[in-house]
């Protein structure tokens, strides 16, 4: 039903500039104009991950709700968790418009947004207002474009949101902030994570809560760098790894918009991001929970991400093309597959095909 309704609504949204269409959907959610999940999730979808109880593994990726405007609406639609951001210490406008492009023929998007957001203070006010409400809401933190101390910006994010975030995602993977991906280099990663973990330790020593810390990496990491990066993440005892952000690759695209600059998301990212996911799963021995992101636009794609090593999943571009019905479609498909294979929970599917995926060429 939801998918059918969205097919009627999509032409009107696609007639708008992509960024205007996005803002229209955010405003609709703020007004409560969105579908709501009826009942509770199938118990086979429940998991406890880094100390948090997820009713199902589906979330919406960072970039959708940059300023913490609609976290509760996302949860009400049936997601098991929401993630706001990327949010930076100071508000910043991002890159010049136009900066989002639809590749309809490829079911993809290219964005060059550049961490446009209202800053820590605005997001904190909204998160404090919903603090007593149920649901897992993570905060994706970043650094200002003109920052002279990027590790310090991330540490400040931990300090600012520690009382209201269910978990943190340290975003060092966006291609749209110059030099940001350099923080993935092992030496830079050591400095960054040392500062982030020190901030968390300081908060805990003062009586605050110990929030899980996830690191989000890019799909364009060189093959020889995967193991060294994972080694640094293990040394610093991160709680999870998100794989992955958008890609700069343009392989196999057919849409005329494919030449636009920025990060590519959607169906063309699925293969690259899933291979990267499986390689990270192998490099970490499956001991660190992974969030699978990139090209999930149907139930089979969601299942393949979990088989490649994901514990949790995040959607974004798939929702642009399939609509909110995609959330329930994926959950139903996963629950059916768990039972068909004779398992009692979705976690039993995790990493069952990681070796096969990791062996594929990018």
> What is the set of active-site residues?
174
| Cβ atoms of residues 100 and 22 within 8 Å | yes
User: CA angle at residue 210 from 44 to 274, to 5 degrees?
Assistant: 45
CA distance 277 to 317: 18
Q: How many CB atoms lie within 10 A of CB 85?
A: 26
Residue whose tokens read 């909110």: 324
CA 222 to chain centre: 21
DSSP 269: G
Question: Could you give the CA distance from residue 12 to residue 140 in angstroms, rounded to a whole number?
Answer: 31
Gap between the Cα atoms of 52 and 37, Å rounded: 21
Task: List, in order, residues 6 or more apart from 194 with CB less than 8 Å away.
Answer: 151, 236
What is the token pair recorded at 126? 């909204």
DSSP output for 230-249:
HHHHHHTT-SEEEE---BS-
Question: At 291, which helix (H) or strand (E)?
Answer: strand 290-293
Give, in degrees to the nearest 5, the angle at Cα 27 between 2 and 243: 70
Q: What is the DSSP secondary-structure string of 162-219? A: TTT-SEEEEE---TTSTTGGGGGSHHHHHHHHHHHHHHHHHHHHTT-----EEEEE-T
Strand-strand pairing, 58-60 and 240-243: unpaired
Q: What are phi and psi of 297, to 5 degrees?
A: -130, 15
């Amino acid at each position: 039903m939801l998918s059918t309704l969205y097919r009627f609504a999509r032409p009107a949204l696609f007639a708008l500039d992509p960024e205007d269409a996005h803002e229209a959907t955010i405003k609709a959610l703020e007004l409560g104009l969105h579908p709501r999940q009826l009942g509770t999730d199938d118990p086979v979808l429940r998991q406890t991950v880094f100390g948090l109880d997820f009713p199902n593994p589906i979330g919406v990726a960072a970039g959708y709700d940059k300023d913490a405007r609609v976290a509760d609406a996302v949860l009400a639609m049936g997601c098991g968790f929401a993630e706001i951001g990327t949010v930076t210490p100071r508000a910043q406008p991002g890159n010049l418009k136009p900066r989002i492009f639809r590749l309809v023929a490829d079911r993809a998007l290219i964005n060059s947004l550049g961490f446009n957001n209202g800053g820590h203070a605005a997001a904190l006010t909204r998160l404090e207002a919903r603090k007593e409400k149920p649901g897992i809401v993570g905060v994706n933190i970043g650094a200002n474009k003109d920052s002279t101390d990027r590790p310090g910006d991330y540490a400040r994010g931990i300090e600012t949101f520690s009382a209201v975030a269910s978990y943190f995602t340290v975003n060092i993977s966006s291609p749209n902030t110059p030099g940001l991906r350099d923080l993935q280099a092992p030496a830079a990663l050591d400095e960054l994570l040392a500062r982030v973990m020190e901030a968390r330790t300081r908060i805990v020593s003062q009586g605050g809560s110990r929030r899980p810390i996830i690191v989000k990496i890019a799909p364009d990491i060189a093959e020889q760098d995967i193991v060294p990066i994972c080694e640094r993440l293990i040394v610093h005892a991160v709680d999870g790894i998100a794989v992955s952000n958008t890609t700069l690759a343009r392989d196999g695209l057919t849409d005329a918009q494919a030449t636009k600059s920025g990060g590519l998301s959607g169906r063309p990212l699925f293969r690259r991001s899933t291979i990267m996911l499986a390689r990270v799963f192998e490099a970490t021995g499956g001991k660190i929970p992974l969030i699978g992101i990139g090209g999930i636009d149907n139930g089979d794609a969601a299942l393949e991400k979990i088989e490649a090593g994901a514990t949790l999943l995040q959607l974004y571009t798939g929702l642009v093309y399939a609509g909110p019905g995609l959330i329930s479609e994926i959950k139903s498909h996963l629950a059916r597959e768990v039972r068909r294979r004779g398992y009692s929970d979705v976690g039993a599917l995790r990493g069952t095909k990681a070796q096969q995926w990791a062996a594929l060429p990018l």
